[in-house]
């Protein structure tokens, strides 16, 4: 693994604290060692196939693989290898998504319980199912007619579900952003984290919403994750 100290400086410029930097470097070394065992070469010459092979080799073994992928993604960003960075990030997200418990529609703050019950009768109980069956205007209209849930209410559930794809945005946060008009992942992705914080703080103050604005670190993380998520809903 080349340029460890330069990578350390890169991480520090990203605002990572020393103990976090040490952990990220340690996890990059794990992948580097895997590469040397696999191909007698280190992390700097890895290919997409090597990263996939690393993930495949860890099934039932290293429980820290998600953190390794995060570190590897950052390392390849530092090394100006965007395709490898994106792949490591994508594989990490896939692993995390598969491990997550489906988020129930009834758990969104302010969810209309009658509508939740009607959707459940149609087999739609989770945010994931809502996204799968409400991707287009036509599918939402069909769902509204089938369940008797107003079309605008179906759209509201879809938007809340869309926001819930962002890590850390669930019951209260999804409702807060939705109510403040930042009701899709794409709108969130266009926000500046500091402007987002100020805007939400002002909204909470004026509306009396029972919640607080995100702290700087949370706002930054929320926007960064939103920018990485693909568009899956037609509005």
Q: Is residue 233 part of a domain?
A: no
pLDDT tens for 178-218 read: 999 999 999 999 999 999 999 999 999 999 999 999 999 99
Question: Which residue range is the domain that position 94 belongs to?
Answer: 4-99
Same domain? For 58 and 118 the reply is no
Q: pLDDT band for 62, please (50, 70, 90 cuts).
A: low
38's tokens = 């696999």
Q: Which one-letter DSSP state was computed for residue 231? A: P
Kindly tell me if the per-residue pLDDT of 96 is higher than 90.
no
Same domain? For 164 and 221 the reply is yes
Same domain? For 217 and 115 the reply is yes
Give the per-residue pLDDT at 95. 82
The pTM assigned to this predicted structure is: 0.65
Same domain? For 134 and 153 the reply is yes
pLDDT tens for 13-28 read: 989 999 999 999 999 9
Number of domains in the chain: 2
- Of 54, 83, 99, the last residue of a domain is 99
Average pLDDT, the chain: 93
Same domain? For 67 and 111 the reply is no
SS3 141: helix
Kindly tell me if the per-residue pLDDT of 39 is higher than 90.
no
Question: Which helix or strand (DSSP H or E) is residue 55 part of?
Answer: helix 48-57
Same domain? For 224 and 111 the reply is yes
DSSP 158-185: HHHHHHTTSTT-SHHHHHHHHHTT--SH
């Amino acid at each position: 693994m080349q340029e460890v100290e330069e990578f350390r400086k890169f991480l520090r410029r990203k605002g990572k604290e020393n103990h976090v930097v040490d952990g990220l470097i340690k996890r990059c070394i794990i992948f580097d060692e895997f590469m040397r065992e696999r191909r007698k070469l280190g992390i700097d010459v890895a290919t997409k196939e090597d990263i996939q092979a690393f993930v495949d080799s860890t099934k039932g073994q290293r429980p820290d693989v998600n953190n390794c992928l995060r570190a590897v993604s950052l390392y390849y960003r530092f090394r100006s290898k965007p395709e490898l960075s994106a792949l490591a990030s994508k594989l990490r997200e896939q692993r995390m998504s598969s491990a997550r418990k489906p988020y129930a529609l009834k758990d969104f703050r302010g969810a209309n319980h009658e509508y939740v019950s009607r959707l459940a009768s149609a087999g739609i109980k989770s945010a994931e199912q809502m996204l799968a069956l409400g991707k287009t205007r036509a599918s939402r209209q069909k769902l509204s007619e089938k369940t008797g849930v107003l079309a605008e209410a179906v759209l509201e559930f879809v938007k809340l579900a869309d926001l819930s794809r962002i890590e850390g945005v669930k019951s209260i946060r999804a409702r807060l952003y939705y109510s403040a008009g930042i009701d899709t992942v794409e709108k969130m992705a266009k926000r500046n984290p500091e402007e987002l914080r100020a805007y939400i703080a002002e909204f909470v103050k004026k509306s009396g919403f029972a919640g607080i604005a995100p702290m700087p670190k949370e706002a930054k993380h929320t926007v960064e994750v939103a920018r990485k998520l693909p568009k899956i809903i037609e509005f």
